[in-house]
Amino acid sequence: MSRDRAALLQGTLDLLILKALAAGELHGLGVSRRIEQITAGTFVVQAGSLFPALHRLEEAGWLASTWQASENNRRAKYYALTRAGQKQLGQETAEWNRIALAIARALEA
Amino acid sequence: MIVLCRLRSLWRNLTRRGRVERDLDEEMMAVFQALEDEHVRSGMSPGEARRAVAVALGSATQIKERVRDVRAGAAVEQVGRDVRYAIRMMRRDAGFTAIAVTTLALGIGANTAVFSVVDTVVFRPLPYTDPDALVKICGTGPRDPACDDDFSFAELDGIRRQSDAFEQIAADDGTRANVVRADGSRESLGIGMVTSNWLSTLGVRPLLGRDFTADEEQPGRECVVILTHDYWRRRFNADAHVVGDTLVLDGVTHTVIGVLPPNVIRFYADVLKPLVAAGYSDRSLDVFGRLRPGVTLAQARAGLDIIGRRLEEEYPATNKDRRLGAEPLGKYYVSIQQKAEQGLVLMLGAVGLVLLIACTNVANLLLARAAVRRRESFIRSALGASRGRLVRQFLIESVLLFLVGGTLGLIVARVSLDSLSSLAVSGGYVPERMAVSEDARVLGMSVLVSLLAGLAFGLVPALQASSVDLSAALRDSTQTLTGGSRRGRTRAVLIVSEIALSLALLAGFGLLIRSFDRVYAASGGFNPENVVVTGAEGGRSFPEAVAFWRAALAHARAIAGVTSAAVTSRPPLQNPRRQRFTIDGGRRMPADDAPQADDILVSADYFRTLGIPILKGRALTDADNERSGSVAVISESLARRYFQGQDPVGRRISLLEHAPMSCCSAPHPVDGVWREIVGVAGDVRQANMDEEPAVTVYRPYTQIVEHDMYLVLHADSGPRAGSIAAGLRSQLAGPDHQSDWSNARTMAQMIHDSESIRLRRFVLILLGCFATIAVLLAGVGIFGVASSAVAERTREIGVRIALGATRTVILRQLVGEMMALAAAGVALGAAGMLVVTRLIRSMLFGVGAADMTTYVAVAVLLGAVVLFAACLPARRAMRIDPIVALRSE
């Protein structure tokens, strides 16, 4: 990924994480795979970016974490959207759509 | 909402650090393990799986570090880590830390102690409620333009009845009383006789016990005392249960009813007792009042002026032309001389210089260390630390250093404060009975100073240590070979200013030593050797007083070892009264414009006893007495100034003033008689050894007697003078048991304790300490710079030795470089000296502010210190083995 796209990722990472968790709780690796899956492989989130972002979002109160048994019976830390996180996802989605629409229009003009 | 969550996280991160970290560890481990498991399940060997995970995720440590960086409170945590690291560095570099911390402790400690003294005396307000509303009421007579404060009770009563400008008006007077203590020792106490509203007018409540009540001003009820805080501490060991105890004053039992708070002082009073109007006939009340809210000083003055005129009509005999006025009370009761106040502020400046030198020194040490630690900075910045973080790290280290130094400095201050304040009291810089203490403001200032100094003096070294510009670093290191780099220049500037500052302090000290010497050696116009002086209160009317002193003289002459004895109203170093005079045949002048002379009453042998030469005519003799004609001896300066070359002997002079005040009666003019001048005596520096002699008239004590008189004895040897002084009081108790002879002192002691010596001694001792510290610090600074120069240039020196430079050349060059710095410092310091010496000009005596001898002496002394400090590391440079030096790189 080029430097420019990494910069883009910075701004959209929070939104992608929130979106990935909208369908249900996931552990850290699960979040990164989910993002890869829903963006059809466009965004590959590195662990070095993912975990700081998860912790930051948790400290902001948008995510909540719990220790649970994973599918292969090991302990893993699962993240889930809080109610504040859902609200935040709604807001950021709306905002993103507004900007995307504006940019698309601008480019068509 | 987010803020709340972040705060909760911050709290959790800071207080449950271990749990948060453990949680992060487990999460990472779980993530790595899960991925590894997947790889193994898909057929990899465990080793391959681990490698694949590492490739995919990177290092767990790095991820954790990045998580930590985004956590709430990351900055706080980093600072905490920096502090821990700084402490580790300080402990590792114990020698550096010890020198830096000691330097700072001395600098900050000296500043805190001196500031405490100055603050107590000059800056801190007195412990009165609303002190600005307090005014001193004073009367001015036709002959005495100064604000005089001698009031009678009738006047006080008149002012109290007629003035509406004041909420309350209080008055006091001082006296002395004897206390015989349980062990039989006698002590003379200062008694403040105060009106019962004295404390409430000042707005002061007793620390313990109660205030006086109004009915304790009635005769028979007055046997109660309030102790001053100082006396309570000195004599009652600050006993909290002192209220109710008794104190026997002049044989009368008094009950202690209270203790004053610290620094509520009435001149020399040790205890206060009620002033009883019925028993008071003096005219020496000090009167002050508290203005009503909204009343200005000008309004109060106008009102008092009217009252003054009414009092003049009411008491024409005593109050003719007497006017009333008012002045702010200010620090009236605890004032020190202006000269002393200036001296204190000066000392504050001097000690500030010491702090500056100490800080410069530490900055220098930090710079030397910064050079050593640049390698560490390279490594840390390569590992991703930003310049800002590096600067912060170094700044935290220096602030920590300054704070530790400051804390130790407070201990230094605490330890030295007692001796400093007693030194200041004996020097006349702090009023007696005043408690010097540090308070919160002083402590706060010290902490602030150390913090700011740490930041200010740590910044440049921090910037240099964290400077990791690789190309610049390479340039720098190549430059080192030819000597002189940017860092080296900064250090050179610091060391030069340090030497300059030290030189200025040292020069001030040198000039003061010389002045002190001159003051001591100055001929006062009398011979102080083997002279003993004691005083007694008169309290007698004229004929009895003369009889009393005649008996005392006879008694004194009979003491073994006494070669001559005399009586005087003021021995040298005691301030004499001044009187106006006219000369018969001279120009007649109105009384108010007549010239003034010191007025001293003496007995026949006075001039012989003190070795004052009689230049013309004769000395006074026993035949000049109450039955003979009125005579006087005048001083040389009077003869020179007012007789213009004519022979004054045989001419007549008249003193115009009031008679000396005899006890318990109003002044009344008794002199004004023409006195024949029988002789001219040599000039005497009467009041102060460093003041020009004043014109003086000596009159026979038998023709007019004063309230307080002194006995002056000349002994046949120095030791004898000492032993006579020790036993004189008991020997003299004979002629009059009631009289209270003061402790006898030798003239040498009196000179030692005289104002001109006292004021200088304090400044001298303090400046001596400061200058010593400054020179030591300059030495340490030079040593530090020279050592690091040698360390940095080991390779260069090795190469040069290998190429054939002799070791003497190396030594000469290194020492030469340091001496060049010293020379620059001395040159710069000469400018500083001019400033310093201008400031201490009032303290100088007999030496000019531009005294070359002193300058050269201190410059040479400082040069010697620099030479010594530079030689130690230079000798090490001389012994550098070229092979070892070249291999080490």
pLDDT at B142: 61
A21-25, B20-24, B139-143, B856-860: range with lowest mean pLDDT: B139-143
**Residue B682 pLDDT level (bands cut at 50, 70, 90):** very high
B866 compared with B184, residue with greater pLDDT: B866
What residues of chain B lie within 8 A of the CB of A70, using their CB?
A: 30, 34
Q: DSSP labels for A8-66?
A: HHHHHHHHHHHHHTTTS-EEHHHHHHHHHHHTTTS----HHHHHHHHHHHHHTTSEEEE
What residues of chain B lie within 8 A of the CB of A75, using their CB?
A: 26, 30
Give chain A's length.
Answer: 109
Q: Hey, are the CB atoms on B66 and A48 less than 8 Å from each other?
A: yes
User: Residue type at B418?
Assistant: D
B321 compared with B865, residue with greater pLDDT: B865
A39-48, B540-549, B792-801: range with lowest mean pLDDT: B540-549
Q: Hey, are the CB atoms on B30 and A74 less than 8 Å from each other?
A: yes
Angle between helix B338-372 and B94-118 (nearest 10): 160
Of the spans B172-186, B374-388, B585-599, B809-823, which averages the highest pLDDT? B809-823
Q: Hey, are the CB atoms on B70 and A74 less than 8 Å from each other?
A: no
Residue of A nearest to B54 (CA): A47
What residues of chain A lie within 8 A of the CB of B66, using their CB?
A: 48-49, 51-52
Q: Hey, are the CB atoms on B72 and A48 less than 8 Å from each other?
A: no
Q: Mutation test of the interface with chain A: which of B57, B64, B69, choosing the one with the most A Cβ atoms within 10 A?
A: B57
Q: Which stretches of B491-552 are assigned E, i.e. beta strand?
A: 531-537
Q: CA B208, CA B39: separation in Å to the nearest integer? A: 85
Residue of B nearest to A88 (CA): B2
Q: Mutation test of the interface with chain A: which of B70, B71, B77, choosing the one with the most A Cβ atoms within 10 A?
A: B70
pLDDT at B531: 92
Q: Which two tokens stand for residue B326?
A: 């008012």
What residues of chain B lie within 8 A of the CB of A61, using their CB?
A: 1-2, 4-5
For residue B208, pLDDT over 90 is answered with yes
Q: Hey, are the CB atoms on B34 and A29 less than 8 Å from each other?
A: yes
| pLDDT digits 0-9 by tens, B346-400 | 888 889 889 889 988 888 888 878 877 777 888 777 776 777 878 888 889 888 8
Residue of A nearest to B31 (CA): A29
Q: Hey, are the CB atoms on B26 and A75 less than 8 Å from each other?
A: yes
pLDDT at B197: 94
pLDDT at B560: 86
What residues of chain B lie within 8 A of the CB of A60, using their CB?
A: 2, 5-6
**Residue A21 pLDDT level (bands cut at 50, 70, 90):** very high
pLDDT at B603: 92
Q: CA B867, CA B814: separation in Å to the nearest integer? A: 11
pLDDT at B664: 29
B399 compared with B579, residue with greater pLDDT: B399
Report ipTM for this prediction: 0.87
Do residues B583 and B653 touch, judged by C-beta distance below 8 A? Answer: yes
Residue of A nearest to B11 (CA): A59
pLDDT at B665: 33
| pLDDT digits 0-9 by tens, B691-701 | 888 899 999 98
Do residues B175 and B316 touch, judged by C-beta distance below 8 A? Answer: no
| pLDDT digits 0-9 by tens, B279-295 | 777 778 889 999 999 99
Q: Mutation test of the interface with chain B: which of A10, A26, A29, choosing the one with the most B Cβ atoms within 10 A?
A: A29
The answer to whether the Cα torsion of B586, B591, B596, B600 is positive or negative is: positive
Backbone phi and psi for residue B567, each to the nearest 5 degrees, phi listed first: -115, 145
* Whole-number Cα distances in Å, A98 to A6, A43, B232: 22, 21, 83
Do residues B347 and B115 touch, judged by C-beta distance below 8 A? Answer: no
pLDDT at A69: 84
Nearest to A57 by CA among A97, A18, A104, A94: A18
Q: Hey, are the CB atoms on B30 and A75 less than 8 Å from each other?
A: yes
Q: What's the DSSP call for residue B184?
A: S
For residues B661-679, average pLDDT: 59
Residue of B nearest to A29 (CA): B31
What residues of chain B lie within 8 A of the CB of A48, using their CB?
A: 58, 62-63, 66
Q: Which of A49, A55, A76 sits opposite B34 (nearest CB)?
A: A76
Q: CA B289, CA B706: separation in Å to the nearest integer? A: 33
pLDDT at B318: 77
- At B617, is the secondary structure helix, strand, or coil? strand
Q: Hey, are the CB atoms on B66 and A51 less than 8 Å from each other?
A: yes
Q: Hey, are the CB atoms on B34 and A27 less than 8 Å from each other?
A: yes
| pLDDT digits 0-9 by tens, B242-260 | 999 988 888 888 999 999 9
B113 compared with B5, residue with greater pLDDT: B113
**Residue B738 pLDDT level (bands cut at 50, 70, 90):** very low
For residues B470-496, average pLDDT: 60
**Residue B203 pLDDT level (bands cut at 50, 70, 90):** very high
Q: Hey, are the CB atoms on A76 and B5 less than 8 Å from each other?
A: no
pLDDT at B160: 92
Q: DSSP labels for B347-403?
A: HHHHHHHHHHHHHHHHHHHHHHHHHHTHHHHHHHHHTT--HHHHHHHHHHHHHHHHH
For residues B62-80, average pLDDT: 81
How many angstroms separate the CA of residue B83 from the nearest CA in chain A? Answer: 25
For residue B483, pLDDT over 70 is answered with no
- At B107, is the secondary structure helix, strand, or coil? helix
For residues B672-678, average pLDDT: 86
Q: DSSP labels for B598-616?
A: EEEEE-TTHHHHTT--EEE
pTM: 0.72
For residue B68, pLDDT over 70 is answered with yes
What residues of chain A lie within 8 A of the CB of B30, using their CB?
A: 27, 70, 74-77
pLDDT at B660: 40
Q: Hey, are the CB atoms on A84 and B34 less than 8 Å from each other?
A: no
For residues B509-533, average pLDDT: 86
How many angstroms separate the CA of residue B30 from the nearest CA in chain A? Answer: 6
Q: Hey, are the CB atoms on B62 and A48 less than 8 Å from each other?
A: yes
What residues of chain A lie within 8 A of the CB of B16, using their CB?
A: none
For residues B719-734, average pLDDT: 80
Q: CA B259, CA B246: separation in Å to the nearest integer? A: 13
For residue B472, pLDDT over 60 is answered with no
Give chain B's length.
Answer: 889
- Return all residues near B864 (Cβ < 8 A) that are at least 6 apart: none
Sheet containing strand A63-69, strands side by side:
A26-27, A75-81, A63-69
Do residues B223 and B279 touch, judged by C-beta distance below 8 A? Answer: no
Q: Which of B6, B58, B62 sits opposite A59 (nearest CB)?
A: B6
Nearest to B424 by CA among B506, B334, B348, B340: B340
For residue B216, pLDDT over 70 is answered with yes
Residue of B nearest to A51 (CA): B67
State what percent of residues in chain B have pLDDT above 90. Answer: 19
Q: DSSP labels for B297-331?
A: HHHHHHHHHHHHHHHHHH-HHHHTT-EEEEEE-TT
